Structure 1
Amino acid sequence: MKLKLISVFVAAATLNIMGCSMAPRHERPAAPVADAYPAMPAVAGMAAPSTPQGKAAYDTGWRDYFTDPRLQQLIASALEHNRDLRTAALRVEEARALYDVQSADRLPNVNANVSESRARTPAAFSATGKAAVGQRADAGVAIPAFELDFFGRVKSLSDAALASYLATDEARLAAQLTVVAETAKAYYTERALAEQAALAQRTYDARAKTYGLTQQRVEAGASSRLDLRSNETLMETARVAALTLARQRAQAANALAVLVGEPVMGNESGTMLSDAAIDAMSALPEGLPSDLLARRPDIRASEQRLQAANANIGAARAAFFPRISLTAALGSASPTFGGLFDGGSGTWSFTPQLVLPVFAAGRNQANLSLAETRKHIAVADYEKTIQTAFREVADALAARSYLGGQVTAQRAIQEAQAERLKLLTLRFENGVASSLDVLDAQRELFSAEQSLVQARLLRATSAIDLYKALGGGIK
């Protein structure tokens, strides 16, 4: 009999592991986007954009993409210390534990027990007419209520837990890619603000010197007080800009420290990227929209959540069918604890049970409707994730097509303004131009220099956005 019990439960466990499933067959929804990214039309004064050739973003590790040694140190520190990534990693451990808990139901639980009991029977209820004290000792192993998963309910729940775990792990990878990109953007933002602050400080120093000279000319009667106030206005404007940019740089450094996950010591070393470096960063082939399905971890996570919703439908369907469970125990019983293992004291029990749902007030149907609705929600979320990914890539490609020309044009403006100031200064020294013309040229040159730094930063951050949107490598 013992061998028969063991054989029954081995067969039942095998059935549970290999059991069928009533979940619908998973089919990946069609991507609700175009087959290709929007073509970038040619713009007057700019060459038609070409398709870059090189290694795909997915195959390019962040150390290969971001070559600045200081930035590499910051990204490595962020991947180790960033609190959002720590939370994401712990979420993965949580999901794995939940999956282990759920998958444990597919195998029998075996419990060992030893017990001893004493009970007094009053004389009125005793067969001998005298009060008696009974004693019993039991020892053995038991398998409580092991469900035979004929209709795949337990398997579907286990599959749903597995898909949720995989989705959580993909979400961790997406968070890791986001931290890499945001750290790089924060670093270059801080560098650009440092460059702008230094430019504003140099401009203020130059204008303060000019203001001092103008003040001397006013005292000598060679200049008017209007010239003095105009110079003072420009000087104070430069000081306001320098102070504003210094504050913004400090705040950018604080934001970078939060991303890195630890204090950033001292002023950051490094400079803004050169145009050639940004060109190299932007040289990523975009591929096809369908490539994103395999490259982007957020899309893979969304598909795993869809599979989890699909498996929950199988569990909800199985609830309409009978549930069969087996309970068994094997052990020894004796009136005394010392006689537990004497000959003839062996005991066993075997209790199969079938539960058929007859009336549940619509609970099972409601659970099925809930599972199906959640699947429809998961499909919509999956399609929305794909659309968002498509838009992010398209936006980054548009930025790549136009920002290079914008930087070139802005540099031409800055160079033209510098030459204009030089010529007006010569004219002023020869008495042809007024001081107001020179002051106006100084103001416009400063504005052009600041705009050039901002345009170069925008181009650098757009290259980072493209790397992230294409599912950049995270190793």
Structure 2
Amino acid sequence: MTRPLFAHAMRRGAALALVAALGACTLGADRPDLDHALVNRPEIQGDFAEAGDAGRFADAPVPEHWWRLYDDPVLDRLIERALAANTDLQVARAHVRQAQAVLDQAEDARLPQTEISGAAAYGRLSAQELMQSEAMDATYFYGVQGGLSYKLDLFGQVERAIQAAEADTAARRAAYDQVKINIIAATTQAYLQGCALARQIAVEEALHDAHGAMTEAMARLEHAGRTDRTAVERAEVAEARAHATLPVLAARRQAALYRLAALLGETPAALPGEAARCTAPPQPTRLVPVGDGRALLARRPDLRQAEARLNAATARIGVAKAALYPDIHLGVSGGSVGLMQDALASETLKFSLGPLIRWEFPNRGLARARIRDAEARADAAYAAFDGAVLIALRDVETALNAYARALDRHRTLRAAQRHAHTLLADQRRLQQAGRTNAVDLLRARQASLRADMDVARSDEAVLAAQVRLFLTLGGGWS
């Protein structure tokens, strides 16, 4: 008996040693190799090319709550409402919960799996099936069984599946953050646009009144024989054109308010009253802070999402490679099956203990094809990550340039506005001194109002460029 027992012990020890040796053979890479990725290039992590003008941009980190630079309590409240009630954010939250549930399922594979079943019936068994010569009587019989199994993750299939699920969850969280900053930017843009258009409507109404006064003045001059009918008609055309602009501005403002209501999770009938009462857009209280490339790469959610997708694709290569090797489970099961009157008697009991090995050895071509598929997906995710970095930098530089040019135009228009206001003041003094007529004063008034309208429109463009810049900088998700 000594030699068989010794041989059995040797075989058992060898098996355990093999299991221990294979336990460290997790296949695939822990993380993708980003040494040559664009995100790690030094020139990408420095200052932005378009941010060199100290008069336009501040060399400071992008604030988390960038909209507070406008120092507008109404805007602050609107953004709080949007973050609490926006339906797109609710969808994104649900996607995060879904990804977390998938991760929980993957992590559950690390634990032993249990199963229990039971049945009872009345009937008759086949005598021939049991190799009996006489028919058997109908009777009650039963069966109960339970089992426990544990997967030996020798080649890291479970571990890589968990890593992939973790990366998928991270990607969903980044997508949620991206939706969040989109909602913040859209809410800010809708509110500021509504305010800017309210200002434009007020200026256009004043300009329409000025054109009406000019029409009346031309009519009086015609009646006095001091001008002809064409001068009156020119004034009437200008008045009609000014009047025709008002419905367009009103429609744009109403569209902005409707857009704002939808962002707040409200119906168009429930327009936010405090936003509708805004008559002039707020302005930032200080220069726009832009940070640098390094901070941008760490802050933008779309880049974190692209990197998480790359991590998930890399982990799935290990999942696919593990399919080349045996799937081994250790299990124990037991139960009782028999006639009801013999329930749980010793002759009804059964049990088993041992490993279960499943290996799709003959079909390795399918497994290798799946590996190639996973590797190709990882290559695509790598390229997409590089592409996302390039797009982020392009968006920021474009937004910086657009904002700078909008500021240049705004400053020029403000200078023209000052000249127009000076001209109007001069015409008033001359008119009071009797050195000019009412028509010249009305023309100066029209020029001043047209300059005001140019500045009001420029205000809208500058504010829109500001919001686009903050959006591309990725602020507001923390």
Normalised to the residue count of structure 2, the TM-score between the two structures is 0.83
Question: Partners in 2 of 1:442 and 1:64 — Cα distance?
Answer: 36
Aligned pair partner of 1:140 in 145, 148, 152: 145
Q: Deviations for 1:198-230, whole angstroms, at most 9, x for unmatched residues? A: 111111122223323332332333332112111
Map of 1:417 onto structure 2? 420
Alignment CA distance shift 1:253-1:285 (3 Å)? closer
Shift of 1:88: 0.6
- Residue 193 of structure 1 corresponds to 197
Structure 1 stretch displaced more, 454-463 or 423-432: 423-432
Unaligned runs of 5+ in 1: 1-10
- Name stretches of at least 5 consecutive residues in structure 2 with no aligned partner: 1-15
Q: Distance in 1 between matches of 2:126 and 2:181?
A: 75
Partner of 1:368: 371
- Matched residue of 2:119: which SS? strand
Is 1:181–2:185 an aligned residue pair?
yes
Separation of aligned partners in 2, 1:311 and 1:123: 55
* Alignment-derived partner of residue 211 in structure 2: 207
Which letter does structure 2 place at the counterpart of 1:129?
E
Q: 1:123 to 1:350 in 2, by over 3 A?
A: closer
Counterpart position of 1:465: 468
CA distance in 1, matches of 2:168, 2:51: 43
Q: Secondary structure at the match of 2:276?
A: coil
Instruction: Give the aligned length.
Output: 448
* Conserved? CA contact 1:327–1:351, under 8 Å: yes
In 2 relative to 1, CA 123–293 (structure 1 residues): closer, same or farther, beyond 3 Å?
Answer: closer
Task: Identify the residue that residue 268 of structure 1 maps to in structure 2.
Answer: 276
Which residues of 2 match residues 424-435 of structure 1 at below 5 A?
none
Equivalences for residues 62-141 of structure 1 within 5 A: 62=66, 64-121=68-125, 127-133=132-138, 135-141=140-146
1:34 corresponds to 2:75: no
Distance 1:50 1:261 in 2: 35
Distance in 2 between residues matched to 1:452 and 1:312, nearest whole Å: 56
Task: Report how far residue 456 of structure 1 moved.
Answer: 2.0
> Given the superposition, is the C-alpha separation of residues 168 and 19 from structure 1 closer, same or farther in structure 2, using an over 3 Å criterion?
farther
Give the letter for the 2:289 counterpart.
L
**C-alpha separation in 2, matches of 1:320 and 1:194:** 68
1:139–1:340 Cα contact (<8 Å) kept: no
Identical columns (%): 25
1:7 maps to: none
- Aligned-residue CA RMSD in angstroms? 3.2
The CA distance in 1 between the partners of 2:81 and 2:128, in whole Å, is 80
The 5-angstrom pairing of residues 389-468 of structure 1 reads 389-420=392-423, 444-468=447-471
Q: Distance in 1 between matches of 2:146 and 2:390?
A: 56
CA contact 1:231–1:439 (8 Å) conserved in 2: no
The reply on whether 1:61 has 2:65 as its aligned counterpart is yes
Q: Distance in 1 between matches of 2:365 and 2:442?
A: 82
1:252 Cα offset (Å):
1.4
Preserved CA contact (<8 Å) 2:68 2:76: no
**Aligned equivalents of 1:52 and 1:300: distance in 2?**
25
Q: Tell me whether 1:248 sits opposite 2:252 in the alignment.
A: yes
- The TM-score with structure 1 as length reference comes to 0.83
Choose which of 354, 357, 360 in structure 2 pairs with 1:354. 357
Residues 324 and 367 in structure 2, CA contact (< 8 A), matched pair in contact too: yes
| Structure 2 Cα separation of the partners of residues 259 and 245 of structure 1 | 21
Give how far 1:123 is off.
6.4
Report the secondary structure of 1:79's partner residue. Answer: helix
Q: Give the counterpart letter for 1:397 in structure 2.
A: L
Tell me, yes or no, if structure 1 residue 52 matches structure 2 residue 58: yes
State the alpha-carbon separation in 2 of the partners of residues 200 and 50 from structure 1.
30
Distance 1:401 1:245, change over 3 A: closer
Paired AA for residue 284 in structure 2: I
Distance, in Å, in 1 between the alignment partners of 2:364 and 2:357 is 20
Counterpart secondary structure, 1:301? helix
Query: How far is the alpha carbon of 1:395 from its aligned partner?
Result: 2.6
Give the aligned residue type for 1:24. Answer: A
Q: Distance in 2 between matches of 1:52 and 1:328?
A: 68
Residues 248-274 of structure 1: CA distance to partner in whole angstroms, max 9, x if unpaired? Answer: 111111122122221323462334445
2:373 counterpart SS class: helix
Distance in 2, matches of 1:64 and 1:423, equals: 40
Q: Which amino acid aligns with 1:259?
A: L
Cross-structure match for 2:386: 383
Which has the higher mean CA deviation after the structures are superposed, 158-167 or 326-335? Answer: 326-335
Instruction: Give how far 1:354 is off.
Output: 2.0
| 1:326 maps onto 2:333 in alignment | no
The amino acid that maps onto 1:225 is R
Counterpart code for 1:86 = Q
Name the CA distance, whole Å, in 1 between partners of 2:133 and 2:49.
101
Q: Deviations over 1:379-410 (max 9, x none)?
A: 11111111122122223333454443432221
Question: 2:162 and 2:246 mapped to 1: Cα distance?
Answer: 61
Distance in 2 (CA, whole Å) between partners of 1:311 and 1:63 is 39
